Structure 1
Amino acid sequence: MKNIKNILLCLAALLMAGCATSIQSTADSDVLDAQAKWALLPIANNTDTPQAALSAEAMLEHQLRRRGITTLLHYPAMLSRDSLFEPTERKVSEEAQQWAIEQGARFALTGSVEEWRYKVGIDGEPAVGVTLKVIDLTNGRVVWSASGAKSGWSRQALSAVAQALLADLLGSL
């Protein structure tokens, strides 16, 4: 009976490791100010999934507001690279940063989506990979960055896995 219990515990640990999140982040939290004006800049879509970056941006906007960033500007649609009708890259990110500076923003969140899909196979597990960074627009220095990946179970929604990953990544912000 004790052996069966140990085997079941080991199997449970292995199953949990299968959906683990890999996060690496750096933060200069003394510099970051939630009361400052922030801008959400375009997120690059490095996946084959159309509009993955737009989905990530919507989730990031919610997560930032939830963390007390109330003055949050969202870049103009004309700077978007991730449109359904023109799936080319956005205009250079320098244009978006320049727009944020002109709006008086102090910090800008940007990054990229590396994976945003359901894996191929019988189970079709959702998988998400994202890299984020916060730029101090007064000097162009990256003051915080994080990168992570997460996969879920076959019956989980891709958006649920993405929300969990983004919440984990922004947890150190």
Structure 2
Amino acid sequence: PFTAREVVMLGRIPHDTGAHRDREIVSEALAAVDATYFAEREYTYLSGGERQRVHLARVLAQIWETAGAEERYLILDEPTASFDLAHQELTLEIVRQLAARGTGVLMVLHDLNLAARCADHLLLLQCGGIAASGSAAEVLTRDTLKSVFQVDAHIGTHPVAGTPLVII
């Protein structure tokens, strides 16, 4: 079985940066997701949240450093599922930093409040179609949430982030 570190190293396969630099990048990616302390454990013995952090580190290692001026994209499906609050925040901060450095990020989130805090643009889907598209303030309205989810939501303002806060 693979160790957590070896799974993350798989993200370096497409690159030609040399074994030494690849090991450095893998160590940096593991540290970025707070996974260094279990890097040498067998992947099959990790918890669901630890496994998810390993795969996030693998993806980070893959896009960490590219040759030339290639564009970088990160596609994440529920990246904070199985995470405690601290690791949810850590993951969102990593995503924010990547986006600020020009990495294109597409993220699927079911937690509307997390989406409001970290996304520049929200796309709310319903039955495979687009129900609403725009900023968090444009998308997360009482009427839209009633139409899509059949719930009576109160929309407040997050006291720190200043983004819409959905309360049901």
TM over 0.5: no
Higher helix share: 2
Higher strand share: 1
The TM-score normalised by the length of structure 2 is 0.27
The TM-score normalised by the length of structure 1 is 0.27
